[in-house]
């Protein structure tokens, strides 16, 4: 009976042609036989093992590829090509430090061969390590092809623009340029992922900041030959950004761990050492504040949290904690102010939104309370306390709203004439919308607060032309001298009125 040879994973390989058998069946490295005859091991050649490994690599089966390359290397340990291929499998497994060591071994084995240096340079380029990549791609009198050269220059240009944007704190540009560096070829760069995370952090988008720093850490940052970004060792920069994000979301112990790692890697960088001191001060202030709060010493707790904010004036957790202390002291205006600051730096901070809504209830600012509880109701549809507070705030808003301030417009010509006459806010809705009544009350309140602005209501069933092809309802639009200057939802309507329609004093 002829023994069947089965490749690991179940498939049959062309490598079987190289296998010889005795007694009818053979067991080869990586293969098994079901024959009961005497088995004699036959070893595949390094070339065949390399080919099987390459096939696995193409199919992204990195663990299998690694096994075959290692079997081949065990036979011919001085083959630089095998070490380069093993590095490729390690890259697929995101074992970057090992991959770097493997490339360096390949180069040492064949110091006059360009190919290992070229392959290493391409990988370093994908990591955004432009200087190191350039050294390898332009070595031994060689240079890369035109496409690689263009990619190298594009990544370098976008990283330089990131650096310029960071110096002037132009975080929006830094976000755009870090993404452009990624799409240009640096698509595995932990420091560029961290760059995007830092930009999102500074733009007060903590959710995206956490996502991108997680991706950066998944790529296991490491430093090849002291690669730097923004004057900081690249690996240290990832921990530096991670520490800031942890601190902003209240993970203070993790923040200390991350910034201490950054300092261990790059203890000569002033940004790193300054941030290490700052985070330690913030953590200490937060600890003392919590101790005072738990002992109901709310004034002392306010002072401690304030000391932390003196060091980090954009920390939303410290603002929320202090706002909570003010609420315990019945200082609702101060509680509202600190809640607003917390939400400015972390717009999705649910605890701060709860506290702001409660402060608005206490201060009888019904329109603002309705706005906050509407958002909370969407996030917590089964929360009975939220539902009750929303119902209460709506009832009070309807009861206290002034009469006859918002004009209902159904004639398109009148609509156009009114919006051309000055500053105006138009509320578009449907008769069947259950929120129509209380949102009209919000408009009444705003019209009393901003008498220089004209407030209109358009019911789309009555005037499709005036509705201006609006498909999402309810919706607010702002006009100035006949030109639309903005579209808003209720939660940002008053801010947009102030920014776009009210002249500063």
- pLDDT reported for residue 464: 52
Does 103 share its domain with 191?
Answer: no
Q: How far apart are CA 167 and CA 260, in angstroms?
A: 24
| Number of folded domains that form the chain | 3
Contact in structure between 447 and 501 (CB atoms under 8 Å): no
Quickly count: other Cβ atoms within 10 Å of residue 436's Cβ: 17
Residue 279: name the closest of 300, 263, 299, 267 by CA: 263
The three-state secondary structure class of 30 is coil
Among 66-75, 378-387, 394-403, the range scoring the smallest mean pLDDT is: 394-403
Rounded to a whole number of angstroms, the distance between the first and last alpha carbons of the chain is 98
For residues 413-419, give the mean pLDDT: 70
Query: Last residue of some domain: 79, 102, 137?
Result: 137
pLDDT at 453 over 90: no
Does 93 share its domain with 173?
Answer: no
Whole-Å CA distances, 261 to 224, 236, 270:
17, 7, 15
> Averaging pLDDT over each range in 52-66, 213-227, 356-370, 393-407, which range is the top one?
52-66
DSSP secondary structure string for all residues of 181-245: HHHHT-TT-HHHHHHHHHHHHHTT-HHHHHHHHHHHHHT----SSS-EETTEEHHHHHHHHHHHH
pLDDT at 410 over 70: no
| Residues of the domain holding 456 | 407-500
Q: Tell me, what CATH number does 431's domain have?
A: 3.40.30.10
**pLDDT tens sequence across 356-391:** 999 999 999 887 888 889 889 888 989 999 999 988
Does 155 share its domain with 107?
Answer: no
**pLDDT tens sequence across 75-102:** 999 999 999 999 999 999 999 989 999 9
Does 54 share its domain with 112?
Answer: yes
Query: Last residue of some domain: 137, 156, 185?
Result: 137
Does 154 share its domain with 128?
Answer: no
The three-state secondary structure class of 13 is coil
Does 172 share its domain with 118?
Answer: no
Residue 322: name the closest of 286, 346, 357 by CA: 286
- State yes or no: cis peptide before 474, omega within 30 of 0: yes
The verdict on residue 399 lying in a domain is: no
Among 148-157, 257-266, 306-315, 463-472, the range scoring the smallest mean pLDDT is: 463-472
The verdict on residue 50 lying in a domain is: yes
The verdict on residue 228 lying in a domain is: yes
Does 230 share its domain with 133?
Answer: no
The chain-wide mean pLDDT, for the chain, equals 85
Does 26 share its domain with 109?
Answer: yes
List of residues 6+ apart from 358 with CB closer than 8 A = 327, 389
Does 205 share its domain with 127?
Answer: no
pLDDT band at residue 1 under the 50/70/90 scheme: very low
Angle at 48 between CA 42 and CA 49, to 5 degrees: 80
Q: Which two tokens stand for residue 95?
A: 């074992």
The verdict on residue 330 lying in a domain is: no
DSSP secondary structure string for all residues of 394-443: HHHHHHHPPSS-SEE---HHHHHHHHTTSEEEEEEE-TT-TTHHHHHHHH
The three-state secondary structure class of 135 is helix
Among 22-26, 254-258, 357-361, 379-383, the range scoring the smallest mean pLDDT is: 22-26
Q: How far apart are CA 185 and CA 125, in angstroms?
A: 7
What is the chain's alpha carbon radius of gyration, rounded to the nearest angstrom? 32
pTM beyond cutoff 0.85:
no
Does 86 share its domain with 168?
Answer: no
pLDDT at 3 over 70: no
Proportion of the chain above pLDDT 70, given as a percent: 82
The verdict on residue 183 lying in a domain is: yes
- pLDDT reported for residue 12: 37
Q: Tell me, what CATH number does 160's domain have?
A: 1.25.40.10
Q: How far apart are CA 306 and CA 246, in angstroms?
A: 19
The verdict on residue 454 lying in a domain is: yes
Whole-Å CA distances, 418 to 318, 355, 422, 452, 474:
46, 39, 8, 13, 20
Are β-strands 407-408 and 454-459 bridged in parallel, bridged antiparallel, or unpaired? parallel
The verdict on residue 241 lying in a domain is: yes
For residues 203-214, give the mean pLDDT: 96
The verdict on residue 340 lying in a domain is: no
Does 234 share its domain with 121?
Answer: no
**pLDDT tens sequence across 346-355:** 999 999 999 9
Query: Last residue of some domain: 137, 163, 192?
Result: 137
**Helix (H) or strand (E) run with residue 486 in it:** strand 483-488
Does 15 share its domain with 107?
Answer: yes
């Amino acid at each position: 009976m002829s023994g069947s040879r089965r490749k690991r994973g179940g498939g049959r390989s062309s490598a079987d042609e190289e296998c010889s058998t005795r007694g009818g069946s053979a067991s080869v490295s990586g293969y098994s036989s079901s024959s009961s005859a005497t088995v004699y091991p036959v070893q595949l050649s390094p070339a065949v093992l390399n080919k099987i490994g390459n096939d696995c690599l193409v199919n992204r089966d990195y663990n299998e590829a690694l096994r075959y390359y290692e079997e081949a290397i065990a036979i011919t340990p001085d083959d630089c090509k095998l070490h380069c291929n093993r590095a490729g499998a390690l890259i697929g497994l995101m074992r970057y430090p090992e991959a770097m060591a493997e490339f360096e071994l390949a180069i040492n084995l064949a110091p006059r061969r360009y190919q290992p240096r070229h392959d290493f340079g391409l990988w370093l380029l994908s990591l955004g390590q432009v200087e190191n990549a350039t050294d390898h791609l332009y070595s031994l009198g060689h240079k890369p092809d035109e496409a690689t050269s263009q990619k190298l220059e594009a990544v370098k240009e976008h990283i330089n623009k990131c650096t310029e944007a960071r110096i002037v704190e132009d975080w929006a540009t830094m976000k755009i340029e870090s993404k452009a560096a990624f799409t240009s070829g640096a698509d595995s760069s932990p420091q560029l992922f961290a760059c995007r995370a830092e930009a999102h952090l500074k733009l007060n988008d903590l959710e995206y900041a956490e996502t991108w720093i997680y991706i950066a850490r998944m790529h296991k940052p490491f430093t090849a030959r002291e690669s730097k970004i923004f004057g900081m060792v690249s690996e240290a920069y990832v921990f530096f950004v991670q520490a800031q994000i942890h601190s902003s979301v209240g993970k203070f112990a993790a923040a200390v761990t991350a910034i201490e790692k950054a300092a261990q890697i790059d203890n000569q960088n002033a940004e790193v050492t300054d941030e290490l001191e700052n985070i330690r001060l913030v953590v200490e202030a937060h600890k003392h504040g919590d101790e005072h709060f738990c002992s109901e010493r709310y004034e002392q707790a306010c002072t401690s949290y304030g000391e932390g904010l003196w060091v980090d004036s954009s920390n939303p957790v410290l603002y929320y904690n202090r706002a909570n202390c003010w609420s315990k002291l019945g200082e609702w205006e101060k509680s509202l102010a600190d809640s607003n600051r917390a939400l400015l730096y972390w717009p999705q901070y649910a605890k701060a939104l709860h506290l702001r809504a409660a402060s608005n209830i206490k201060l009888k600012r019904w329109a603002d309370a309705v706005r906050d509880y509407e958002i909370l109701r969407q996030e917590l549809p089964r929360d009975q306390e939220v539902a009750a507070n929303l119902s209460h705030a709506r009832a009070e808003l309807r009861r206290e709203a002034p009469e006859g301030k918002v004009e209902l417009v159904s004639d398109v010509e009148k609509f156009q004439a009114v919006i051309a006459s000055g500053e105006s806010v138009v509320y578009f809705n449907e008769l069947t919308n259950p929120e129509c009544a209380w949102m009209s009350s919000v408009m009444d309140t705003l019209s009393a607060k901003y008498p220089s602005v004209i407030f209109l209501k358009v019911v789309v069933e009555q005037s499709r032309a005036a509705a201006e092809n609006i498909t999402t309802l309810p919706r607010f639009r702002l006009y100035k001298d006949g030109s639309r200057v903005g579209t808003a939802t209720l939660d940002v309507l008053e801010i947009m009125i102030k920014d776009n329609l009210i002249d500063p004093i």
